[in-house]
Amino acid sequence: MDQKRILVIEDEKPIAEILKYGFEKEGFQVACAYTGGSGLEKAEEYKPDMVLLDWMLPDIAGVDVCRMLTEQHNIPIIMLTARGNVEDKLYGLESGADDYITKPFDLREVVARVRTILRRFDRVRGIREEQSAVEGLTVSEQERMVYRNGEPVELTPKEYDLLLYFLKHPRQVFTRVILLEQIWGYDYMGDTRTVDIHIQRLRRKTGLGEKLVTVFGVGYKYVP
């Protein structure tokens, strides 16, 4: 297996150094950036598999860096923050982050979470790297991209994962809790409202609209 690349965007150098040391010891490649701006540049050239992103950066708010990263790349992001507030967590997750780690953290826990997310990311990507066309949508699993009438559809990593999950399980009804487990993972701390928000965005962005059916009192299904 080739080495996974981690980009750490964190202005507190001692914390960045601890993460770099810890992940390198575990066999990852690590690059560090100490501002939001340089982090965005680094993401372009380094092509990381995962970003660890601090919430409080000196130039650009971490949450905005997160939004910019997910708009341009299909990379899972873990936000690092000293805050424990639930609203902040939701805010971060809605801006496209995949998970949240509160400082001070246990390095082993950070490594474990990164591994879990990378595994899930790879699994959803699927073993078969092929294109399939449905509903005027072309899905390239290799690129993790979706095209609508030839134009790329801007999806966050979670929106992409959720869409693919529905497309691969037509007519099957999923509860919000099941979707949270399958797409966000068992240890995800958010609530089922996250699923509703993602479904609404998918309906709009992909043009699938009401083909992503609300099953009242249960959850959602995709009806081709």
Cβ pair 78, 89 in contact under 8 A: no
Within 13 Å of residue 97, how many CA atoms lie on the same side as its CB? 27
How far is the C-alpha of 10 from the C-alpha of 82, rounded, in Å? 12
Total interface residues for Ca ion by CB under 5 A: 3
Q: How far, in Å, CA of 199 to CA of 32, rounded?
A: 34
C-beta closer to Ca ion: residue 14 or 27: 14
Task: State which residue has the least CB distance to Ca ion.
Answer: 56
For Ca ion, the closer of residues 54 and 141 by Cβ is: 54
Residue with smaller CB distance to Ca ion, 54 or 99: 54
Rounded to a whole number of angstroms, the minimum distance from the CB of residue 122 to Ca ion is: 30
Determine contact, residues 89/97, Cβ cutoff 8 Å.
Answer: no
Q: Which is nearer to Ca ion, 37 or 207 (CB)?
A: 37
Map 146-166 to HEC letters: EEECCEEECCCHHHHHHHHHH
Q: What are phi and psi of 209, to 5 degrees?
A: 50, -125
Binders of Ca ion in range 106-135 (CB under 5 A) = none
Query: Which parts of 10-29 interact with Ca ion (CB under 5 A)?
Result: 11
Nearer of residues 32 and 124 to Ca ion, judged by Cβ:
32
Q: How far is the CB of 11 from Ca ion (least distance, A)?
A: 5
Say which amino acid occupies 57: L
Beta carbon nearer to Ca ion, 13 or 119? 13
In whole angstroms, how close is the CB of 58 to Ca ion at the nearest point? Answer: 8
How near is the Cβ of 12 to Ca ion at its closest, in Å?
5
Least distance CB 2 / Ca ion (angstroms): 31
CB of 52 to Ca ion, least distance (A): 12
Subset of 30-69 contacting Ca ion (CB under 5 A): 54, 56
User: Cβ neighbours of residue 121 under 8 Å, at least 6 residues apart?
Assistant: 49, 76, 157, 161
Question: Which residue has 């699923």 as its token pair?
Answer: 195
Residue 57, CA distances (Å) to 34, 53, 66 in order: 8, 9, 12
Residues that bind Ca ion (CB under 5 A): 11, 54, 56
